[in-house]
A and B are shown apart, each in its own frame.
Chain A
Amino acid sequence: MSAPGVLPQVLPLLPPGWKKSRRASVQRLYSLVVAEGRQRAGVRRMHVLYADSLRIARDTDLDQVLAALETDLHRYIAEASPHLTFLHAGVVGWQGRAILLPGHSLSGKTTLIREMLRLGATYYSDEFAVVDNFGNVHPFSRPLGIREDSTFAQTKHTAEALGATSGIKPLPLSAVVICKYKAGARWKPAPLSHGEGALELMASGIAVRTQPEHTLRRIQKLVKGAVFFKGTRGEARQSAASILSTLSADSHGGTA
């Protein structure tokens, strides 16, 4: 980093649970070149970010470059982690077990999670379900990125700022809920079999192309005893209430 003064802005962008390392060698090296000095007319001073030798961002706005760092770093960890499998899914804790909400970007995961938090669920992640070798789901509780308008821009809110708590303990899986938002739709999900549900999870795997064996093995452990639902949902508030009440009615045991 060319300007150590920027470090306090970088630290909050590191993945949840990061630790300092004494190792001299690294798997991936980020270089941030901060444009210093005053901006002058006719001269655009660019902040530049490299991952190894690849330039991944170049902008006059440092916040944009730091956002690119956060995105690339989290994705790299999700892709390269040897001991954990990362699935693109939101996660909340409910009655001592995890509910996974896999889905593509803009499918409304975060909106649904926010409503579930309002109803007493515990926050685990709005981006990645992190699965270990025993099939338990770990938190990846970075602030929720709530998209506000048609530019797809996100504003960050911590779970605590939304009146919820963040989970710490790894949880076994209770349910996988695959849904897509459609205005006015009523939440009437269809159950999926374990194989179909596992296929949906595989298609959310960040590293499925590079680590297919680990991904399949961990998904197999993850889905034991879980139920799967798929459907179209309408407004998040009603859907969240309906999902949680369905799962409360199901006999999965455990307490909050």
Chain B
Amino acid sequence: MKERQKLKARADCLSREFGDEILVYDQQRNVGHCLNSTAAATWKLCDGKRSTSEVAEILTQQLAAPVDESVVLLAVEELSRARLLVELEKPARRTSRRNAIRAIGIAGAIALPLVTSLVAPTPARAASCLANGRPCASPAQCCSGKCGMGGHCNA
């Protein structure tokens, strides 16, 4: 019998729960991710022991609504794109968003899995920028994005 691939969430990320969503911070890449309820529930079940079909079964029980494997596959695709899973030996089977929508149904009881990502800024980028003519140490500090040779922001 063909062995099913097991899913494993990366353990080196920081995470915090916001209701049924999860905010994950990837310290290696300095990127934050918001996992919606379906992606979050899937991610929590990726313990390295379960396959997509097993995750779908558990989600069906947890959410008291039928969760098709195509929904889990879509969640895995979203999580993999955000690099929140330990790399799979073989890429996971792909599914289309259309398949997942069809499986959920128009008035679906669960949301399509979604991962939204934003890069964490450096302190220089996070703070207010400097006006033209102001002394600068790097282009990131200047509103114009240009720190001239003389160490001043210019147009």
Partners in one complex: yes
A positions within 8 Å CB-CB of B: 49, 54, 56-59, 64-65, 67-68, 71, 74-75, 78-79, 88, 105-106, 127, 145, 147, 151-154, 193-196, 198-200, 202-210, 212-213, 216-217, 219-220, 223
CB-based contact A195/B18 at 8 Å = yes
CB-based contact B123/A75 at 8 Å = yes
CB-based contact A199/B123 at 8 Å = no
CB-based contact A71/B21 at 8 Å = no
Which one, A106, A198, A203, A204, contacts B119 given CB within 8 A?
Answer: A203
Cα-based distance from A165 to B135 in the complex (angstroms): 32
Residues of A within 8 A of B11 (CB): none
Nearest B residue to A128 via CB reads B127
B-side interface size class? 35 or more
Of B31-39, B54-62, B67-75, B91-99, the stretch lying at the interface with chain A is: B31-39
Besides the known contacts A71-B127, A151-B131, A212-B25, 11 further A-B residue pairs in the complex with CB atoms under 8 A apart: A58-B135, A74-B127, A151-B133, A152-B131, A153-B132, A195-B34, A202-B32, A203-B121, A208-B30, A209-B30, A220-B16
Which B83-138 residues have a C-beta within 8 angstroms of A?
116, 118-124, 126-135, 137
Nearest-neighbour CB distance to chain B for A202, whole angstroms, equals 5
CB-based contact B122/A209 at 8 Å = yes
Residues of A within 8 A of B132 (CB): 151-153
Cα-based distance from A54 to B36 in the complex (angstroms): 44
A-B contact pairs, 26 of them (CB 8 A): A54-B137, A65-B135, A68-B135, A71-B130, A71-B134, A74-B127, A75-B127, A105-B128, A106-B143, A151-B133, A152-B130, A153-B133, A154-B131, A195-B21, A198-B23, A202-B23, A203-B119, A203-B120, A203-B121, A205-B121, A205-B126, A209-B30, A209-B120, A212-B27, A216-B14, A219-B16
CB-based contact A199/B127 at 8 Å = no
CB-based contact A208/B127 at 8 Å = no
Q: Is B48 an interface residue when CB atoms closer than 8 A count as contact? A: no
With A195-B35, A204-B126 already in contact, the answer to whether A67 and B118 are too (CB < 8 A) is no
Which B1-49 residues have a C-beta within 8 angstroms of A?
14, 16-19, 21-23, 25, 27, 30, 32-36
Nearest A residue to B125 via CB reads A104
The 3 closest A-B pairs by CB, nearest first: A195-B21, A57-B135, A152-B131
Which one, A154, A198, A212, contacts B18 given CB within 8 A?
Answer: A198
Residues of B within 8 A of A212 (CB): 14, 25, 27, 120
Cα-based distance from A193 to B134 in the complex (angstroms): 39
Cα-based distance from A217 to B23 in the complex (angstroms): 11
Cα-based distance from A49 to B135 in the complex (angstroms): 10
Residues of B within 8 A of A54 (CB): 137
